[in-house]
Every structure is written in structure tokens, then in C-alpha cells.
Amino acid sequence: MKRRCILFLLFLTILKTADASTLDSIKTVYKDGEFITYCQVKVDSSDSINHTITNDFNYQMRYNLDALFGWALKGMNLRKERNELMIFYFKSTKYDKETNTIRGIGDVIVPGIITFPNIIVDSHLTDKKYVNGEKTINIDLLYSDGFLKKMFGTFTVIPKKNNTSLYTLNTHIRFGWFFNIFITQNRFKKIMEWRLKRLVHNLKDEAERREKKRGLSNK
């Protein structure tokens, strides 16, 4: 009897792990010069916590980049950390309220080959909430002087049952001429894909941290 209980618990653990793995995934396809990446992860957080996460991301992306590096951009190596393939130095953002445009400035360095200083990336950041409770943050490239030719991404929060959610990120990226040659499909995984996955997991970790903190404060 004891052995049957152990086997049953093991079976349930395997099922739970398999279910989590299907909800925690990332995939990139390359089509017509464009890298299309889709990432998703299950999050144990309520609608109210999800609301604070998306609001804070929106605000800090516009007005407080340093604060964003404390959680959403944490560990993404965007502040000149050493890397064999490509080094990013995301210096600043400036928000134009009239045009709803964010101007990002940074360096991109290919070690031993070339440095592109003060690359400008202008993008349009918008958010929307739907009647079914879903919320999206959209970023669309307006201008980039060399690094990017095309880029848009959609981060979506999908509410689920029992205070759980699904966070998804869908991005389309096409690089400028030099980077289009340099960044192969294999290099994209080592340069960009892991960063996109890290971003989604950073948002998940922060949401679950806030949910846990709120739970403790309510006891």
C-alpha cells in the first residue's frame, strides 16, 4: 500500500512538471530575414499584482531606466558586461509625451571587430486592457540608425484561474545590414533569445515576489 502511494505521488509530480514545462517555453523561427520569437511562462499572481507590474514597467521605461534595471532588466547584460559575441551598453531613455515616443541611446560592441557608439532607437510604447482581463504592452520601432531595421513586440498578460496568469512575449526583429550578416540563427539564440526569455522570467519573478509579500502582510 505504501509503495502504491509513493508511486502515485511520483506520477502526480511528473504530470505537474510536464504541465509546467509546456507553459514555460521559448521558440524562434527565421523567416524572410526576420527573427520571430515567442516566449510564455505561467505566473502565480493575481490580476491586481499583474496590474502593478505592467504599470511600473510602463512608467519606468519612460522615466526611470535605472529603476527598471533593478528588476525587469536585471541580469540581461545590457550595461557593458563582457560577452564574447556582442556587448550592449543601454545608456538612457528619454520620453516625449507629445508624440508618445521613447528614444533609447546605447552602444553596441562586437569585440575585436567594431564599435557602434550612441545608437539611437526611437520606439512607440502603448498599452491596452481588454474586457476579458487581458492586458498588452506594445513596442514598435520608429527609427534606428543602423542596428535595427524592423522591430515590434507584444507582451501580454492573460489571467487564468486560481490567481494564476500566463505571461507571453512575441517579438519580430530584423537587423540592419551589418548585424543582419553577423547575427546568424545560432548567434541570435546566444545574443538575443536568452535575453527575451530572461525579461519574461524577470517579470514573473517580480510578480510572484509581490504576491508572496502581499500574502504575508495579510496574515
| Whether residue 5 has pLDDT greater than 80 | no
Give the three-class secondary structure for 50. Answer: helix
Q: Which CATH number fits domain 26-74+124-217: 3.40.190.10, 3.30.530.20, 3.10.20.340, 3.40.640.10?
A: 3.30.530.20
In the DSSP assignment, the letter for residue 73 is: T
Least confident range of 1-15, 114-128, 196-210: 1-15
Cα dihedral sign for 157, 160, 163, 165? negative
Q: Which residues pair with 89 in a beta bridge?
A: 79, 107
Mean pLDDT of 48-73: 95
pLDDT surpassing 90 at residue 122: yes
Q: 121: which strand partners?
A: 104, 144
pLDDT at residue number 23 = 73
Higher-confidence position of 95 and 84: 95
Ranges assigned E (strand) in 32-113: 34-43, 87-96, 101-110
- Binned at pLDDT 50, 70 and 90, residue 83 comes out as confident
Mean pLDDT calculated for residue range 106-112: 93
Q: Tens digit of pLDDT for each residue in 156-205?
A: 999 999 999 999 999 999 999 899 999 999 999 999 999 999 999 999 99
pLDDT of the residue at 2: 53
DSSP for 114-128, please give it: EEEEEEEEEEEEEEE
Contacts of 109 (CB under 8 A, 6+ apart): 80, 86, 87, 88, 89, 115, 116
Identify the band that residue 15 occupies on the pLDDT scale cut at 50, 70 and 90: very low
Q: Parse the chain into domains and list their residue ranges.
A: 26-74+124-217
CA 122 to chain centre: 18
pLDDT, one tens digit per residue, over 136-149 is 999 999 999 889 99
Mean pLDDT of 25-49: 95
Pinpoint the alpha helices (H) of 161-193.
Answer: 177-182, 185-188
* 1 pLDDT higher than 60: no
Q: Where are the alpha helices (DSSP H) in 24-106?
A: 47-63, 65-68
For residues 117 and 109, give the distance between their C-alpha atoms in angstroms, rounded to a whole number: 8
User: Residue 47 and residue 162: Cα distance in Å, rounded?
Assistant: 11
Identify the band that residue 14 occupies on the pLDDT scale cut at 50, 70 and 90.
Answer: very low
